[in-house]
Structure formats: C-alpha cells, structure tokens
Amino acid sequence: MGSKGDSPRAAGRLHGFNAILDHGSGQRFNSEVVLQNALRELHRPDTVTWIDADDCDILGFAEAGHANARIDDGDDTYTAIRRYKIPTRALNEPEGSVVDDVLFARWT
C-alpha cells in the first residue's frame, strides 16, 4: 500500500500547485500591461483606459442609475466566482441571494 502522498487526491493537489508554480516561475512581464496592449489592438481605434476600481467605481456609478452596464452575452471570456450573499437586514430581506463576483468580462 502506498503512502498518503501517493493518493489521487494528493496528486491533484500537487498538479494544481505545479500549475500555479509554472505560471509564476517563467520570465514574465507586467500582466496588466500585456492585457491592456492586447485590448488596445483588439479595439482599435477606440481608447482603452486602465482604471483602478477603488478609484473609479464604474459599475457602482451604473447601479446608482447614472449609466447602463451589462455583460456582453456573446462573450465567452466571462469569469466569475459565485457566492452566497447573506441578507443585510433580516427584516427587509428574509433570504440571501446568490451573486457573481466578476473577475473578467466584457461590458456594454
């Protein structure tokens, strides 16, 4: 019988760790700059501007009713983490909700 380290579950954890290690161990350039330049090429002649969401909350601006923002349905690069949001006030919201924390998407 093999040791705990030989189990398929342990091998999966090691594979996941190695994937992260490989991604971060190679010769790298600033990932944000690479992404911004790729988006500029893709969307010429439009202007692509990189902003910090903490400094300029565009989605919050839209949620306040000052603009419209929706995820492009035809885009297959949508990436999000789905989580359960507990009610903020039990009297007004008897049940929580499921929300997506969007990591990457194209918005219109």
The first and second tokens of residue 84, run together, are 């359960």
pLDDT of residue 6: 57
Query: 65-95 burial, b for 16+ CB within 10 Å, e for fewer?
Result: eeeeeeeeeeeeeeeeeeeeeeeeeeeeeee
Q: Which residue positions in the chain have pLDDT lower than 50?
A: 1-2
Where do the structural domains in the chain lie, given as residue ranges?
A: 1-50, 51-108
What is the structure's pLDDT at 48?
Answer: 83
Nearest Cα neighbor of 102 from 62, 66, 59, 67 is: 59
Question: Which pLDDT score, from 0 to 100, does residue 11 have?
Answer: 55
Q: Which pLDDT score is estimated for 2? A: 47
pLDDT of residue 67: 93
- Chain centroid to Cα 65, Å, comes to 24
